[in-house]
Amino acid sequence: MRENTDGFRLRTADGASNQCHVGAFRPNFGSVSRGFSVPYQKNFSIAILLPLHPHSLTSTIIMDGTGKGLLLKADPIAASFREEVQSTLVQRDRPPKLIGILATSSEPSRMYSEFTKKQCEALGFEYILKKTGAALSSDLAEGEGVEEAIVEANEDERVDGVLVYFPIFGVQQDHYLQQVVSPLKDVEGLHFKFHYNLYHNIRFLRPQFLTVTTHSNDAGLTVAENDEPPAGMVKSIIPCTPLAIVKCLEYVGVYNKILPYGDRAYGKTVCVINRSEVVGRPLAALLANDGARVFSVDIDSIQEYNKRPSAEVSSQRQYYPRHVVRPSNLSLQECIALSDVVISAVPNANYKVYTAWLKDGCVCVNVAAEKNFESNVREKASIYIPAVGKVTILMLLRNLLRLQHYKTILQTTP
């Protein structure tokens, strides 16, 4: 076993050592975008460590003598959102309709489509799977007809949400397809409009903004006293997995609810390893916009994200980015040692986060299908969350409910 220059240790079954690189990737079911993991292009990880704060952790907690910390499964975290989704659903005239588009022969993507169907049916949502390309017939190419299927779903008034099972072609072409999905039906929050809002800390928007092609100074709002949209505005859609991770951190007390809205992660240091546009960079921005100091680690650099001081924000520039990004000269080990929060989402069974590097009393969150932390992680961590997939799917369904509501507003507003 050895340590490579990036500070990652990989251990194979036969004791061999391999190097794990981190970089951009586009996940699918089993991928970190939805709380699971499969290899795609480059592996990625996030780490989160944090002192334990008082919270009602009364369910699905296991203390089995394998460490000092608590093993907290995602079930109780997901339960509160399941109740929220169900209570919202019963108030609707009809259940939202979600179209899943499967265009490849990928087994993880097929499995995720089955998982989506199961969750939708259990909660009372309508789910339809549209197969195209290699998913429909072995005589068709991977991804064949996928853009046409997206456009068809966009134009179908009976459809409230569109979920495309990526990866299909690769990062750049898949990114194009993410922009083809109508922002009015983008349950994953991957459209540029939503990413733009996220990186500019625009938390609320006017529903009409989703139907126009350009940005307007009157389209969104960056300053608010709480998470309730002002009159005439609605919440912007946030990518599912970064949001699910934030909700997990809120649950265990990383976010201080006594502090003002928008500063509740103040005083916390977070290390996010990976800067993908699906998980790593959105998560770093979300945390920084909430006041955290964030180390964003990629294969070739480490950056530090911080919330921009309010004195630097000009009222004449409503869309000025609300976080500041600067290069860091710290090593990965130094970043992790300083951090209060570590999340790992490396789609590689050989990747392990050093327990020895973790800060005493931290919270560790595993986002990958594989266990990225060593078996003794709770010797250092006060809380270890082994998966977030059950929270991620509820964030997706909550987005679906919101998009259905936004469409209703547009249809009833002159």
For position 285, which CATH number holds?
3.40.50.720
Same domain, 272 and 202: no
145 sits in the region (left: phi over 0; alpha: psi -120 to 50; else beta) called: left
> What distance in Å separates the CA atoms of residue 89 and residue 12, rounded to the nearest whole number?
46
Same domain, 204 and 67: no
Same domain, 349 and 209: no
> What distance in Å separates the CA atoms of residue 242 and residue 226, rounded to the nearest whole number?
20
- Please give the C-alpha separations between residue 290 and each of 43, 201, 409, in angstroms, as whole numbers: 27, 9, 29
Same domain, 33 and 104: no
Domains in the chain: how many in total?
A: 2
How confident is the model over 149-166, as pLDDT tens digits? 999 999 999 999 999 999
Tracing tokens 């973790």 back to the chain, one arrives at 358
**Residue 15 is assigned to a structural domain of this protein:** no
> What distance in Å separates the CA atoms of residue 69 and residue 24, rounded to the nearest whole number?
32
**Residue 4 is assigned to a structural domain of this protein:** no
Same domain, 43 and 102: no
**Residue 39 is assigned to a structural domain of this protein:** yes
Same domain, 142 and 190: yes
Amino acid 316: pLDDT: 54
Same domain, 295 and 191: no
Same domain, 337 and 259: yes
Tracing tokens 């005083």 back to the chain, one arrives at 267
Which is more confident, 298 or 7? 298
Specify which residues 61 forms β-bridges with: 72
> What distance in Å separates the CA atoms of residue 144 and residue 140, rounded to the nearest whole number?
7
Contact 352, 11 (CB under 8 A): yes
Same domain, 283 and 350: yes
> What distance in Å separates the CA atoms of residue 366 and residue 247, rounded to the nearest whole number?
14
Q: Which pTM value belongs to this model? A: 0.80
How is residue 131 annotated by DSSP?
Answer: E
Amino acid 208: pLDDT: 86
Which structural domain range is residue 168 located in? 78-239+393-412
Tell me how far the alpha carbon of residue 296 is from its chain's centroid. 15
Amino acid 5: pLDDT: 33
> What distance in Å separates the CA atoms of residue 17 and residue 15, rounded to the nearest whole number?
7
Same domain, 291 and 383: yes
Q: Which of 215, 255, 231, 193 is nearest to 403 (CA)?
A: 193
- Band (65; pLDDT cuts 50, 70, 90): low
> What distance in Å separates the CA atoms of residue 113 and residue 116, rounded to the nearest whole number?
5
Amino acid 230: pLDDT: 59
Same domain, 56 and 92: no
Asked if residue 370 has pLDDT above 90, the reply is no
**Residue 344 is assigned to a structural domain of this protein:** yes
H-helix or E-strand containing 403? helix 389-412
Least confident of 118-132, 191-205, 213-227: 213-227
How confident is the model over 97-149, as pLDDT tens digits? 999 999 999 998 999 999 999 999 999 999 999 999 999 999 999 999 999 99
Average pLDDT over the chain reads 81
**Residue 218 is assigned to a structural domain of this protein:** yes
> What distance in Å separates the CA atoms of residue 166 and residue 28, rounded to the nearest whole number?
5
- Band (273; pLDDT cuts 50, 70, 90): confident
> What distance in Å separates the CA atoms of residue 257 and residue 240, rounded to the nearest whole number?
22
| Token duo for residue 86 | 């169900």
Asked if residue 59 has pLDDT above 60, the reply is no
Same domain, 26 and 82: no
| Token duo for residue 260 | 């003002």
Least confident of 97-101, 189-193, 298-302: 298-302
| Token duo for residue 263 | 């500063």
> What distance in Å separates the CA atoms of residue 83 and residue 302, rounded to the nearest whole number?
39
Least confident of 34-43, 224-233, 235-244: 34-43
Asked if residue 292 has pLDDT above 80, the reply is yes
- Nearest-Å Rg of the Cα atoms of the chain is 21
Tell me how far the alpha carbon of residue 245 is from its chain's centroid. 6
Helices 75-89 and 389-412, axial angle in degrees (round to 10): 20
Catalytic residues: 240
Among 29-38, 156-165, 228-237, 362-371, top mean pLDDT goes to 156-165
